[in-house]
Each structure stands twice: as C-alpha cells, then as structure tokens.
Chain A
Amino acid sequence: MQLNFVSVFALCKFALPHLRKQRGNVINMSSLVGVFGQSKATSYAATKGATTAFTKALAIDEAVHGVRVNAVSPGNIWTPLWKVCVAHRPTTSPPGPTQPRASPPARCPAQAGADADADPTAAREAGQRVQVMGRMGTVLEAGRLCLCIAADLTFTTGVDHIISGGAEIGYGMK
C-alpha cells in the first residue's frame, strides 16, 4: 500500500504545483486487476482500485487548475518480470504467436499473471491466450498510450484507459 498507492498520492502532491503552471497532466499506472481482481493478490488489487478511484477524484479537483488526471490499466505486457518466468527457454521472441512448448519445464521463479507457475512455457502461453489478440503487449505500446494521453487527448480527464489486447472482453475459463 505504501509503495503502490501512497507513493502515487505523494508524487501528485509534490508535482501538482509545477503541473498547474504548465496545465500539465498526470498518468497513474493502474491495472485491470483493480477492476476484476486476481488470485492471491488482494492487497495489490486494492492498491490498484485505490489508484483508479484516486485518479477520478483528483481529476475533478484539478480540472479548475487545468491539470488532467488519467489512469492507464495495462493487461499483460511483456516485461522483464514476464521474461524471468520463461528464462529457462532457449529463445524468446515476444510478443508473437505461441511458441512450441519447450522441455524440460522449469519452476517459474515469479508468478506473473498466469497460474501455471510450474511450467514457464505454459505460463507464457496462458498469458498470451488471455488476450483476444493472442499476444502480450509491449512496453512501447504502453508508452505510446501514455504519450497519446499526454500530448493529444486534451479533452480527456478522469478516465481509466485500458490497454489489454482485449483481455477483459468475452467469457473466460474459470
């Protein structure tokens, strides 16, 4: 909670005097998990839900100062953390089509997103199948959304922007 939410609160507090001068904006990295939860991640989901709610409340208060406040909720983005999960595989080529399953399965050192922690390849494949687009996003794609919000979406504030490749649409296997 201190790391995920209080830090956001404090940084906004310190930055707002400067942002108001430039009529700037804030982008808080939230998560889809803040909306629909995740197994074994109650506190994490709570901080992300708090971030989204905080974003909307701050957007109301700062509108008079010309500062826009938005949130970004990424789904599965191919990050170093995900990479750790499949580090035992000989090659990686994310993001892309599902790769042939490698053997032997190694224990996943970090449970990121998928539950198949005993098999990193399966974890990655599961992570890709979560999206209707069939792949994970890239960090640059996440960055581009932030740039779009900052530079172009000048009439958008208090919105939680989803970048998930369609992870949250349709029925999922439970």
Chain B
Amino acid sequence: MTTVPAESSTTDAFVRSEAAAFATVSRTGYFGEGATDSNSTGNPRIVLGEWYGQTPHAASLGSLGLSSVAVTAQLQNCAGRYAGKTVIVTGGGRGIGEGCIRVFFEASANVVIADRDEATGSALAAELNARGAPNAALFVATDVSVVAQLQRLVDEAVARFGRLDCVVDAGTRRTRRSTSSRSTTCRT
C-alpha cells in the first residue's frame, strides 16, 4: 500500500513514478502514507487514473471472452497498491498466472513472467511494457520442473529489479488420466 523507497541506485530506474503508475489500465488507485504528486499533505487518498491522462485500455484478454469493459472493471482500484515492489509469477504467460501478472502490473509492481511458453510470455511482457511503463515487465523462459531454471529465474529477477517482494506459484499443471491410458493435461 505504501511506496517503498528503492534499495539502491540501480533499482531506481525500475521504480515507477506515481504518474507512470497511472499509465496503466486501472481507473482508480490508492496511494498510502507519504507525500506524492496527488497527496502533498501525506494523507492517504483515492486518486483517479484519468487525472494522469490515462488512455483507454485495449483489452488483450479478448481471447478469453473478456470484453474491454470487463477487463477495465476488474482492474479497478489496483493502481499504486504494490508500487516499487517486484513479484515473480510462474505460469505467468497465460491462465491464472496471466491474471496475476496483469493485476500486479496494474498495482504498479515490477512483474517477472516465468513461463515455459516463450511466445505468449514474451508477448505479454511486450504488451505491458508498451503501456508507457518500460522495464516494468520481464519475461524469463522457465520450465518450473527444472530446479536449476528456478534458481536462474530468481537470480535474473533480482539482478533486473534489485529486490523481490512476492512469489506467486501458478505454474502448475493438472493431469487427468483415464483408465484407457488416454492422458490429457491442462494448466490450472
């Protein structure tokens, strides 16, 4: 809820300003203690994205049948809630992991998309980074079943953003196997 100062100068470049936070989709957001552009007195207050020239959202969740209106509604009140922090989401390229990535990005966090699928993961990172908040999304191709790649994932995230505040393990898979040995796999 509060904006945490960067640890080192190398991190500063990746901590988005309050104005940059509202380059995202959320129409409203919360900024906590500490004086900011919209909060010169230091009193927590709700602020509106449009005050910062926020542009309408072009929904890319259309493939899931979520309209632009629904996406915008479901990203309400996220902006600023995790500003200056870094989160890793495994399975972040699609499904629930993608939802986490988008919400945390809306919350002004630096997001690390860890996914085995390079195409969807890098596309999501590119889409988020194109929203006027460069360097806020990082894609790391990761097969979570390979332990060494998880170590590399953490190392890359910390090297890039200088800190790590949250890990979301969404990179799992459901396997249902029928007695006829026809197996199907799906991600949950």
The chain A residues found within 8 Å of chain B, CB to CB, are 2-4, 6-8, 10-12, 14-15, 18-19, 21-22, 24-29, 31, 38-41, 43-44, 47-48, 51, 74, 77-81, 83-84, 92-95, 109-112, 138-144, 146-147, 150-152
Contact = CB atoms under 8 A, between A and B. Distances in A.
A4 B154 CA distance: 18
Interface stretch (B48-56, B130-138, B174-182): B174-182
A15 to B, nearest CB: 5
A108 B7 CA distance: 51
Interface in B75-117: 75, 78, 81-82, 85, 87-88, 90-91, 94-104, 107
Contacts of B145: 2-3, 6-7
The 5 closest A-B pairs by CB, nearest first: A139-B99, A143-B103, A143-B99, A18-B164, A7-B144
Given A139-B99, A140-B74, A112 B170 contact: no
9 contacts: A4-B172, A7-B150, A11-B150, A29-B91, A38-B176, A74-B96, A110-B186, A140-B75, A143-B96
A22 B85 contact: yes
B173 A112 contact: no
Nearest to B105: A143
B58 interface: no
Interface string B53-66: 00000000101111
